[in-house]
Amino acid sequence: DVKVTQSSRYLVKRTGEKVFLECVQDMDHENMFWYRQDPGLGLRLIYFSYDVKMKEKGDIPEGYSVSREKKERFSLILESASTNQTSMYLCASSPGGSHTDTQYFGPGTRLTVL
């Protein structure tokens, strides 16, 4: 079974702090994604990556950056956390290399910024 793990289930940070969210997948997937999920707004794509050291902006990249130094690991960085970044953050991976891609999600990190 594909396993996608996220470094924390719950995280509380203060405004202005730098926040790292880590995601690791164990199935050699090419694609990795970061979403945030908010009530009434659904899943929104922040960034995605099709390959190591490669990244592309999603629909809401402002205030975020990402890093993919190794194929299995995709990190989301909040350079200076703000209260409006309080949300559920979901990481996903997909095999890539084909025209249809099922995404496998991690358990999520619920981030609260005070």
Query: Closer CB to another protein, residue 17 or residue 88?
Result: 88
Contact code string over 26-65 relative to another protein, x by CB under 8 A: -----x---x----xxxx-x--x-x---------------
Query: Closer CB to another protein, residue 17 or residue 105?
Result: 105
- Which residues are bridge partners to 109 per DSSP? 89
Q: How many CA atoms lie within 13 A of 69 on its CB side?
A: 3
What's the Cα-to-Cα distance from 111 to each of 22, 58, 89, rounded to whole Å?
13, 20, 7
Q: Give how far the C-alpha of residue 27 lies from the chain's centroid of Cα atoms, to the nearest Å.
A: 17
Q: Using CB under 8 A, which of 4, 46, 81, 113 touches another protein?
A: 4
* Least distance from another protein to the Cβ atom of residue 16, Å: 28
